[in-house]
Structure 1
């Protein structure tokens, strides 16, 4: 990987550039979801397979992020939030970024394939949908969030598929939880970053506006997210089960998430949207922890 010196930020390290262009924090959060899914599906933990899942998962997410930034390089330069990313800031050439993306893609698919073919297949689908469908649709239609929710929901169920080698009701439920969760999460982001997104022509809100209609949809999808999160307590999702105590804890988290969704509806401010975004991150993280703890402690 070569780094351009013509516009590079002083003291910008290769590691710093790598973590920035692969969106380290986002990628780690995605890997965390996959690990949670693995632990939920495992009868016994194979730490080598878990390691492979982490490496393969990071490569796949990192590759998606690099492809995304290559495609949106000129648009990223227009937004305050993204103008200092490696490509628009000149810390890395497009050629170097493309080589990195290809290496991460091949390595990611190979590592996931070594676990089992279906895991590699879902990883490849995730990259394809994120790069070829979600990314170009962001400047064309608010439906991009719907399309992007598919690859975004794969990681949680990918861990289960990695340990079982098959797709069924259990990983399907994990997929649906993270699928519906993404709507209030990304619409909240789209709301408080509305002006910045507008500079690049991104359409992220369902109505295209920060209005009552968008806020109502945020509430509806929040309710769906919480309800789907509680389905395993009914004992109808195969080996994926949730005890009443853990379901109660998730219910409390859900009430908190719904509170911030309703608050956005009432206030319609960027501050309320940012609070909802933070609440949504807390919700999905704590949900995954509760699910895993419930399995191993009961």
Structure 2
């Protein structure tokens, strides 16, 4: 198996983004604890990477026949015939078990949450994608668990800071998912996926996407409101949230793929900017 096939199997870019958010939250949790144990940070990154890779691997096994129908996914190793499901299953189980072991070694709650995220993503969200747009809400839960896992891996308590980190990434999932669903709607329909709020590119779906960017604005200011972040992170979050809101308004106004692409690419930048601002501001306050 080539590296290219492996990266497609685990959805490398998505896995990297998920692991990044967990690692940032680990550092925040470490500062709450009083010190950063860099060896544990490395374990968190490896464990988080493996758990996320396993969830994506199981997702591709379940959707192998559907992936054949879509242009975007037809070249993945399983639907393209370069890997069979047995091989992918062995890899997924190994990554899931070993990754969970590593996270559980840091903190049992982190290990439990990692198992929960795999089950929810692969075995509930994945089949729901063809049944109802509610799948986006279900998928937003495991999608927002990485910062929670990263935080409790360093600070063994789900406190208000952990919930803020979870909440920011949870709400972010909606404009992120819906922008992607709008751009790829034609491809998704080939596999029967129903991810846009109304099931199609229309005003209703665009309004939902805009409202989600509107909700993102106050949610991003929660660190400043509750005092775990200062005005610096509040200012940065406000600026990027207003830009994000502008992209959401553009989609609602124009209802076209170009506007959805701006929202989609904006979502890729939005989350790491807000999380890094929270981290640097938090470290400066402690």
Work out whether the TM-score is over 0.5.
Answer: yes
Q: Output the CA distance in 2 between the equivalents of 1:25 and 1:184.
A: 18
Is residue 2:10 matched to residue 1:19? Answer: no
Q: Does 1:89 align with 2:77?
A: no
- Deviation for aligned residue 1:296: 2.4
How far off its partner does 1:279 sit?
0.5
Q: Deviation string for 1:62-109 (max 9, x for gaps)?
A: 000010000000100100000000101111111100111111111011
1:80 maps to which residue?
71
Match of 1:44 in 2: 35
2:179 paired with 1:188: yes
Structure 2 residues not aligned, in runs of 5+: none
Q: Give the match for residue 6 of structure 1.
A: none
SS at match of 2:130: coil
CA distance in 1, matches of 2:39, 2:25: 16
- Which residues of structure 1 form unaligned runs of 5+? 4-12
Pairing partner for 2:230 from 232, 243, 249: 243
- The separation in 2 between residues aligned to 1:149 and 1:79, in whole angstroms, is 23
Q: What secondary structure is seen at the aligned counterpart in 2 of 1:89?
A: coil
Contact kept in structure 1, 2:103 and 2:110, CA below 8 Å: yes
User: What stretches of structure 1 move > 3 A for 4+ residues in a row?
Assistant: none
The correspondence for 2:262, drawn from 275, 288, 292, is 275
Q: Distance in 1 between matches of 2:5 and 2:94?
A: 16
Are the counterparts in 1 of residues 233 and 274 from structure 2 also a CA contact under 8 Å?
Answer: no
Matches within 5 A, 1:20-169: 20-42=8-30, 43-169=34-160
1:38 Cα deviation from its structure 2 partner:
0.8
Deviations 1:122-151 (A, max 9, x none): 101000100111000001000000000000
Deviation at 1:211, TM superposition (A): 1.0
Residue of structure 2 in register with 1:293 after alignment: 280
Secondary structure in structure 2 of the residue aligned to 1:80 = coil
SS state at 2:221 partner: helix
CA apart distance, 1:45:
1.0
How far off is 1:24 after superposition?
1.2
d(CA) in 1 for partners of 2:51 and 2:189?
29
Distance 1:250 1:288 in 2: 9
Question: Which secondary structure does the structure 2 equivalent of 1:57 belong to?
Answer: helix
CA RMSD of aligned residues (A): 1.0
CA distance in 2 between counterparts of 1:211 and 1:127 reads 32
State how far apart, in whole Å, the 2-side matches of 1:41 and 1:214 are: 37
Match of residue 250 from structure 2: 263
Count of aligned positions: 282
